[in-house]
A and B are shown apart, each in its own frame.
Chain A
Amino acid sequence: MSRVAVVDHGAGNLVSIARALESLGGQVVLARRPADLEGAQGLVVPGVGASAPAMRRLARASLDRALADAIGAGLPYLGICLGLQLLFDGSDEDGAGGLGLLRGRVRRLDGAPRLPHMGWNAVERTREHALFAGIDRDAPFYFVHSFAGEPTDPGVVLATTEHGRRFASAVAAGNVLGVQFHPERSGRDGLALLANFLGLLAGGRARPAAVAGAA
């Protein structure tokens, strides 16, 4: 069974992501301090909202360094929404610095017909990756955000989504993976993506998402 540390930085709904991973056969540990990362085979950083308070809470718990170290050691990381945005150098939202593990900045979706970008939208893949194995090429996923990361290196982009402008809705750089949408809120396809992530972990063998179903 894959042991996954779900990082709790105080924002957002952890119940859904923890339960989604458990339903797929993952063993979830809620990580509030560096010691909680020990023994984890993968890291999931969820969250919604602004970067600055999340970075403050991570720093206060010394989790910013611990996460960077764990990623440096090769542990697979899945950032969801804010958990993806935190990987960049910084955010225009409140001027907050990020973990700096992906080059680029988080910018507002200017010109979008609606902000926040809230609802289901097509995630159009630009290259193949095991994270999306078995999922339709432009399957819709659930988004809730107004800002999105702009990677300096277009090579890290896995998928893009159109809302006001075309933005990177999924990225992969080695063991660092991130999605701007919420797989834990995206029904069957979302669960399939999380199952694929568990499958990437050392010794991980996720239960097929179809067994858990969308409901």
Chain B
Amino acid sequence: MLLHRVIPCLDVAGGRVVKGTRFVDLTDEGDPPTLAARYAAAGADEIVYLDITAAPEGRGTLLAIVTRTARRVFVPLTVGGGVRSPLEMRAVLRAGADKVAVNTAAVRDPGLVRRCARRFGRQCVVVAIDARRRGQGTGADPSAPGSWEVVVHGGREPTGLDVVDWVRRVAELGAGELLVTSIDRDGTRAGYDLELLRAIRVVTDLPLVASGGAGSPADMVAAIRDGGADAALAASIFHRDIHSIGAVKVALAAAGLPVRLDARDAA
């Protein structure tokens, strides 16, 4: 049986992890490969890097970091940010990433998803979607059917695209996985937008990674059990050592959700 995944996400800018961390015993707190190695040792099922600068002049820096990570971290690595062509995707894969996430570039040029899937196989192509709830903000009326708009550029720019329509479209184009972030919940630690996850789950069989809003292991249980996500991604609760990956795994297992538990980690 396929196990549920717990995925720490590192926001990277200029070759450094941004957003604070409290790993005080590291020699270099902001070094992505150092943090990724630490998460892998703690039981992370995968690592995600999102390059939030994604400026063309920063590509070399990002690729060097991906390579340094692949040399010492032996769990899968997804890298997102700034990939606009199969050639750029190839460079990230050759540097040592297993999957590449596309977001804004796919909205601008949906054919990018198809071209990348044809060239590298759909399992390499993660479509990242930033979703903003339409209407009166978050959870105004929990019983009302929700709808969400795709936003780009870190949530700053609306696109007019409906999230569920966009999911159907990228599934046809060749997406291999969906990484869905609720922009409303991102950074709030108020829990994932479960209604958003469910709305996506019913229209696709693609692997679905929940993102945005994780505040506790219970939130990650809910994303998987109630939202239908296959994997739960979080940033700040891990970086600030509020909750450990092991604690999330234990909570998932206690809820009857199969996870990869390492006896040596649990001991």
A residues contacting B by CB (< 8 A) are 11-16, 19-20, 48-50, 53, 112-122, 140, 142, 144-146, 162-163, 182, 184-188, 190-191, 213-215
Contact = CB atoms under 8 A, between A and B. Distances in A.
**Majority-rule SS of B interface residues:** mixed
A120 B2 contact: yes
Given A12-B98, A215-B37, 9 more contacts: A15-B67, A15-B70, A15-B96, A48-B98, A114-B230, A116-B207, A120-B45, A144-B123, A185-B74
Interface in B44-85: 45, 67, 70-76
B40 A117 contact: no
B254 to A, nearest CB: 18
A166 to B, nearest CB: 11
Nearest to A184: B74
Contacts of B67: 15
Interface of B: 1-5, 37-38, 40-41, 45, 67, 70-76, 93-99, 119-124, 176-177, 205-207, 230-231, 260, 262
A136 to B, nearest CB: 9
Nearest to B3: A120
A122 to B, nearest CB: 7
A121 B2 contact: yes
Nearest to B264: A188
Contacts of A144: 76, 98-99, 123
B45 A119 contact: yes
B260 A120 contact: yes
Closest 10 CB pairs of A and B: A49-B121, A15-B96, A215-B41, A15-B70, A215-B40, A215-B37, A120-B3, A116-B123, A19-B71, A144-B123
- Identify which of B71, B95, B98 gathers the most chain A CB atoms within 10 Å of its CB: B98
Nearest to B93: A13
B207 A185 contact: no
A209 to B, nearest CB: 10
Contacts of B41: 213-215
Contacts of B122: 116, 146
Contact of B177 (A116, A121, A163): A116
Given A114-B2, A163-B2, A119 B207 contact: yes
A146 B175 CA distance: 13
Contacts of A48: 98, 120-121, 123-124
Contacts of A146: 122-123
Contact of A114 (B71, B94, B124, B205): B205
B194 to A, nearest CB: 19
B230 A14 contact: no
B94 A119 contact: no
Contact of B1 (A49, A116, A118, A122): A122
7 contacts: A16-B96, A48-B98, A116-B177, A118-B230, A119-B5, A186-B75, A214-B75
A182 B123 CA distance: 13
A50 to B, nearest CB: 6
A128 to B, nearest CB: 22
A140 B263 CA distance: 13
A120 B262 CA distance: 13
A20 B71 CA distance: 7
Contacts of A16: 70, 74, 96, 98
A190 B74 contact: yes
Nearest to B92: A13
B206 A114 contact: yes
A121 B76 contact: no
Contacts of A112: 205
Nearest to B66: A15
A13 B74 contact: no
Contact of B123 (A49, A163, A184, A215): A49
A187 B74 contact: yes
Contacts of B121: 11, 48-50
A1 B19 CA distance: 43
B176 A116 contact: yes
A12 B76 CA distance: 12
